[in-house]
Chains A and B, each alone.
Chain A
Amino acid sequence: MDILVIQVLNSIFYAAVLFLISAGLSLIYGVMRIVNLAHGTLYALGAYVSAWAVGAVFGASASGSGNWVLMGQLLLLPVGAFAIAAVGALIEPTLLRPLYRRPEEYVLLITFGLLMILEDVMKLLFGGTPLSAGSIMDSMGSIRIGPLLYPSYNLVVIGVGVMAAVGLWWFTYRTRFGVILRATSQDRRMASALGVNVGRVYVQAFAIGCFMAGLGGAVVVPAQAAVLGMGVDALILAFVVIVIGGLGSLEGALVGALIVSFVRTAGIQFFAEVELAVLYLIAAAVLLIRPTGLFGRA
């Protein structure tokens, strides 16, 4: 029973991280119709930047040195997210904007080139050794669930995931910018004709999407160290999530992330060999039966 609780918590923790990444990917697709292959790498870059920032300010092993240090470390984590948002705001006008008039294959290829570049930028900046902010996780200790212990930090991540979901929902459905965003996503030319500065909306949407990827990396790095190649793996899972949920749908990203995480947790427990294959097959099946996903619109 306790193990079940822990497994459920693990799934939700994993879903929170996956939701952050996929919501960004989905938002970018929804507004701009761009499949950003570099998205996973941006998530990895966010993880590196956050771990680096925490390490640079507090030293690598500042665990157990009081609440103030922990507070400072936690406040430093979002640095990765903001850095990635800035990278996104730089990429869109320089690399993507010139290509909107060309077939979509070219944009896809640019993001693939970007993936290759960013993978090596990480290697260049942070070296080949994994970078961790594990001291945060250590100094936050753990809570007791029956006879078992569960790291408190994971609960923080779940909290961030819930907050991000609520925040994004509020942002898209309850603010003026959200209305503009949705209008642009539905009909770009009409929005433009009505006086919306589409170019600016695109930069903002891309930067927000990147911010979400960076945030995913930032919250995950105290729990698991940033390593080279983590982005390439994450991208495919995020793809599975938004395919299941529906490309461009926020609710879809949430439900998709939950489905993928629970299937994955169950998979690791019961059918470890085909755990990943099952996920990809689910994605393929959803695409076949309902190409718009569970929540997508036609």
Chain B
Amino acid sequence: MPAGRTGPSLRRVLAGAVPIVIGLALLPRFVDLYQTELLIYGLTFAIAALGFNLLLGYTGLLSFGHSAYFGVGAYTVAFIVRDLHVQSMELCILGGLLGTLVISALFGYVCVRHTRIFFGILTLALSQVLWSLAFKFFWVTGGTDGIRVPRGNITLLAGLVDFKGAGAYQKFVYSYYYYVLVLFAIATAVMWVIVHSPFGKALQAIRDNETRASFVGIRVRRYRWIAFVISGSFAGLAGALWVPLNGLTTPEILYWPFSGEIVFMTVLGGFRTFTGPIVGAIAFNYLKVYAVASSQYWQMVLGVVLVVLVMVLPTGIVGTLARLAGKLRRD
């Protein structure tokens, strides 16, 4: 176990994580279909935000172009289903991961040459290249109509579970929930190992002081590049899982405001903590869905939340709760 001496012990981590996973697994028994579906969306976004936070929280790079990798994952799956007529979700995910791996390796190689605002603008510019291609090459991507990925064309677990005939929607939501939950748990565990490995410590060293990090022999640019690729791949996995759920992929998910939403999720949860992005993504999803349902001015609601958050609670939900808990313990 490569967890560093500074991290909490494995037993303590499992003691925290196992009840949460069990709780999530039992949840569909107590809430209705719609709530379950919302939670699947939340979990997929959580994977993306988790990946994003490897760059922001651990490496100190603010990417404003993570929509690109989410979108590449989504579009790759859509292409595979539409053009190659592949049904197995596992193959689709592999394809989506491969696609994002290539794109994020390429874009990352370019972007890590800069830091701070230049890095942000570079990621933004490159993500917009993909957006404009998806937007304009309508005979390939369907333009603004996007590409439909019908549930009926997808099977889980190498064809064991399919979604045809009566009750397909219910069956889809329930089985897909567990499918995503398992992948989410794996992704979270992988990310936990990464940030607590020597590699993760090196990233944090780079974040805190780039010059000193290079003095102790860390190859700064190489490490940033690897972090970028991992981060992008997480977003790609999220995008791949999101497509069958949404049933449709459109250029919207490649457009830069969606990158902003990923940043929003992470800050909402708190980017200084490991669990922050997860909590933030799930909370953001609920917030957005309910804001959209209750008002046509939902953007304003989200905007006000973001402004208040940054002004008053910059450590996010998890950071604030941790501080409150610490205060209670001391009293």
Asked if A124 is at the interface (CB within 8 A of a chain B CB), the reply is: yes
CB distance from B286 to the nearest CB of A (A): 17
Also in contact, A288 and B304, with CB within 8 A (given A106-B314, A273-B136, A280-B129): no
Produce 1/0 per residue, A218-259, CB < 8 A to B. 000000000000001000100110010001000000000000
Number of chain B interface residues as a range:
35 or more
Instruction: Please give, as numbers and ranges, the residues of chain B lying within 8 Å of A121 by CB-CB distance.
Output: 300
A98 to B260, CA, bound (A): 22
Also in contact, A116 and B303, with CB within 8 A (given A109-B264, A124-B297): yes
Asked if B137 is at the interface (CB within 8 A of a chain A CB), the reply is: yes
A273 to B132, CA, bound (A): 8
Which label, helix, strand, loop or mixed, suits the secondary structure of the A interface?
A: helix
Instruction: Please give, as numbers and ranges, the residues of chain A lying within 8 Å of B137 by CB-CB distance.
Output: 273
A106 touches B310 (CB 8 A): yes
Asked if A272 is at the interface (CB within 8 A of a chain B CB), the reply is: yes
Please tell me which one of the listed residues A99, A108, A114, A239 contacts residue B303 in the complex, with CB atoms under 8 A apart: A114
Asked if A287 is at the interface (CB within 8 A of a chain B CB), the reply is: yes
A148 to B257, CA, bound (A): 40
CB distance from A273 to the nearest CB of B (A): 5
Which label, helix, strand, loop or mixed, suits the secondary structure of the B interface?
A: helix
Please tell me which one of the listed residues B132, B299, B302, B304 contacts residue A277 in the complex, with CB atoms under 8 A apart: B132
Asked if B10 is at the interface (CB within 8 A of a chain A CB), the reply is: no
Also in contact, A276 and B128, with CB within 8 A (given A108-B120, A123-B297, A232-B257): yes
The stretch of B23-31, B109-117, B151-159, B176-184 in contact with A is: B109-117
Instruction: Please give, as numbers and ranges, the residues of chain A lying within 8 Å of B147 by CB-CB distance.
Output: none
CB distance from A291 to the nearest CB of B (A): 5
List the B residue with the shortest CB-CB distance to A239: B121
A284 touches B126 (CB 8 A): yes
Instruction: Please give, as numbers and ranges, the residues of chain B lying within 8 Å of A2 by CB-CB distance.
Output: none
Please tell me which one of the listed residues A104, A113, A243, A284 contacts residue B116 in the complex, with CB atoms under 8 A apart: A104
Also in contact, A280 and B110, with CB within 8 A (given A105-B62, A112-B263, A232-B257): no
CB distance from A96 to the nearest CB of B (A): 10
20 A-B pairs (CB sep. < 8 Å) = A105-B56, A109-B310, A113-B304, A116-B299, A117-B304, A119-B299, A120-B298, A120-B300, A124-B297, A236-B124, A239-B125, A243-B125, A247-B117, A274-B132, A274-B136, A276-B132, A280-B125, A280-B126, A281-B125, A281-B129
Beyond A104-B116, A123-B296, A273-B136, list 17 extra A-B contacts (CB 8 Å).
Answer: A108-B64, A110-B307, A112-B306, A117-B307, A119-B299, A120-B300, A243-B121, A274-B136, A276-B128, A276-B136, A280-B126, A280-B129, A284-B125, A284-B126, A288-B113, A291-B114, A291-B118
